[in-house]
């Protein structure tokens, strides 16, 4: 087998599919494992790590599970897996990413009256569905702290520069740390949470890292903040300050920047995507400051203890396709979005009845 073709090609070609086919099997030969990293072919024993990793990974995704978990980003998912691979990811991470959503079962909590789908989830930064789940947790933890009239959405940008991404991100983080020590910020911002976002400039020639901040505190003039930002950065002055009018607005603000694994301006280009993943591998993408410091915005929520298994997802989907009222009732409950945390409704494909 040959190395994957151009991973930027979003067409339905076998070369791009081959990585998923290899990753989602329970058995892999040493020769086939070399496809994931061509260098493995020359490294003898090391390439067998891929075989062992695949054997330890969750069961392969069934079509019903893949449709439920990944139907909205199939082309982007193929590009993401190729980029993660070329950024130097190991076999275990690749296997988890490819098998995200496998072994899905529907469960119900009678006391809480909620439904959920339990499965093997990769929780990878590059995974879009896991990003949405992470956003739901952040929203649930941040929303109670929103004080209308005293919470603002602040955007801090850096002047575009050509060059590697990592030094620019580090400069942005240092500049934000310096800003928080200024008299203007420390006297008006009591605490909050920040999110890092990276795009490419409109002309595609430079990286555009910037920071979105949810700030709790007193009124802060955009003009004054712009002047202070120019002082700490030396050359950047474009900022934006907006009052939060509703919790729903703050929720949309948080969800937008936490849920997406990579901006479209980066994800469409394989080389940019690889650099993004490689450079930001150990960089925090969100954090708290001030009076919010120490708050666990990614911490778990109270979870019912009486989850009752109702059946595997693939079985229920096939039964519903065959006219089973029991399966239809269960999946209708899940699709209505009664799963907790304000997650979007599940959309489960109706398939013909099977064995």
pLDDT digits (tens, 9 = 90+) for 262-308: 999 999 999 999 999 999 999 999 999 999 988 778 776 667 888 88
CA angle (202, 241, 137) in 5-degree steps: 85
Q: What is the pTM of this model?
A: 0.78
pLDDT in tens, 75-132: 999 999 999 999 999 888 888 898 999 999 999 888 888 888 999 999 999 999 999 9
pLDDT in tens, 186-230: 999 999 999 999 999 888 889 999 999 999 999 999 999 999 999
Q: Which residues pair with 106 in a beta bridge?
A: 117, 311
**141-290 is a CATH 3.30.70.60 domain:** yes
Q: Which residue has the tokens 């941040």?
A: 142
The kind and range of the H/E element at 21 are helix 14-23
- Among 50, 120, 129, smallest CA distance to 92 is for 50
* Packing angle, helices 91-98 and 74-86, rounded to 10: 180
- In angstroms, the CA 280 to CA 278 distance is 6
- In angstroms, the CA 90 to CA 184 distance is 45
Q: In angstroms, what CA-CA distances link 124 with 22, 131, 200, 278?
A: 19, 8, 22, 14
Break the chain into its structural domains and give their ranges: 14-102, 141-290
DSSP label at residue 161? B
């Amino acid at each position: 087998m040959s190395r994957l073709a151009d991973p930027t090609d979003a067409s339905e070609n076998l070369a791009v599919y081959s990585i998923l086919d290899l990753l989602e099997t329970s058995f892999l030969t040493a020769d086939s494992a070399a496809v994931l990293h061509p260098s493995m072919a020359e490294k003898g024993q090391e390439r067998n790590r891929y075989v062992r990793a695949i054997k330890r990974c969750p069961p392969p995704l069934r079509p019903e599970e893949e449709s439920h978990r990944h139907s909205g980003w199939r082309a982007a998912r193929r590009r993401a897996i190729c980029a993660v691979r070329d950024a130097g990811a190991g076999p275990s991470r690749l296997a988890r990413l490819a098998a995200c959503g496998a072994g899905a079962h529907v469960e119900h909590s009678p006391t809480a009256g909620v439904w959920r789908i339990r499965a093997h989830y990769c929780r990878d930064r590059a995974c879009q569905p896991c990003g949405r789940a992470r956003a739901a947790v952040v929203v649930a933890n941040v929303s109670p702290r929103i004080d209308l009239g005293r919470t603002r959405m602040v955007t801090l940008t850096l002047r575009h520069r050509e060059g590697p991404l990592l030094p620019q991100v580090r400069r942005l983080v240092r500049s934000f740390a310096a800003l928080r020590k200024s008299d203007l910020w420390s006297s008006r911002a009591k605490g909050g949470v920040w999110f890092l976002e990276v795009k490419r400039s409109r002309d595609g020639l430079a990286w555009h890292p910037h920071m979105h901040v949810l700030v709790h505190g007193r009124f802060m003039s955009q003009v004054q903040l712009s002047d202070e930002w120019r002082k700490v950065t030396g050359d950047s002055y474009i900022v934006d300050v907006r009052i939060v009018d509703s919790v729903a607005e703050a929720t949309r603000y948080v969800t937008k920047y936490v849920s997406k694994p990579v901006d479209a301006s980066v994800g469409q280009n394989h080389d940019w995507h690889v650099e993004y993943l490689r450079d930001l591998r150990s960089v925090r993408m969100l954090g708290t400051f001030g009076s919010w410091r120490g708050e666990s915005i990614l911490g778990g929520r109270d979870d019912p203890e009486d989850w009752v298994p109702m059946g595997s997802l693939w079985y229920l989907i096939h039964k519903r396709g065959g006219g089973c009222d029991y399966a239809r009732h269960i999946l209708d409950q899940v699709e209505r979005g009664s799963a907790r945390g304000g997650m979007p409704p599940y959309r489960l494909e109706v398939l013909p009845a099977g064995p």
